């Protein structure tokens, strides 16, 4: 794979997803998300996981790792992507307070 594509993916994900997930942790609110999503913590975790998927898949390729390590990192990246898709779906579909304790 072309290293330019790997560097571009790493730079774009770091420029877009990393601030989206770290700024709220530092106390900066994101008013654009406040009215649409109620599960903002889950969405911040998803942004960090998406950034991790890109890092897990691109850094070994840029380091010219062995094929076994590349396959392992690709599997880990796929598992992280599936987990992130599941969490994103849960954050978009589940309403807050829907899991109430039974009396």
Question: For 67-99, how does the pLDDT look when each residue is reduced to its tens digit (9 = 90+)?
Answer: 999 999 999 999 999 999 999 888 878 766 555
pLDDT in tens, 31-48: 665 555 567 778 788 888
CA 34, CA 37: separation in Å to the nearest integer?
6
Confidence category of residue 102, pLDDT binned at 50, 70, 90: low
Q: How many residues does the chain have?
A: 103
Phi, psi of 96 (to 5 degrees): -65, 140
Distance, in Å, from the CA atom of 13 to the CA atom of 77, rounded to the nearest integer, reads 14
- How is the chain split into domains, by residue range? 3-26+41-93
Predicted TM-score (pTM) above 0.75: no
């Amino acid at each position: 794979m072309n290293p330019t594509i790997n560097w571009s993916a790493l730079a774009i994900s770091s420029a877009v997803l990393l601030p989206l997930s770290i700024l709220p942790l530092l106390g900066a609110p994101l008013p654009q998300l406040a009215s649409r999503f109620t599960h903002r913590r889950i969405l911040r975790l998803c942004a960090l996981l998406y950034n991790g998927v890109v890092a897990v898949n691109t850094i070994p390729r840029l380091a010219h790792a062995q094929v076994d390590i590349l396959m392992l990192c690709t599997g880990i990246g796929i598992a992280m992507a599936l987990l992130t898709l599941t969490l994103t779906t849960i954050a978009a579909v589940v309403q807050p307070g829907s899991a109430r304790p039974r009396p």
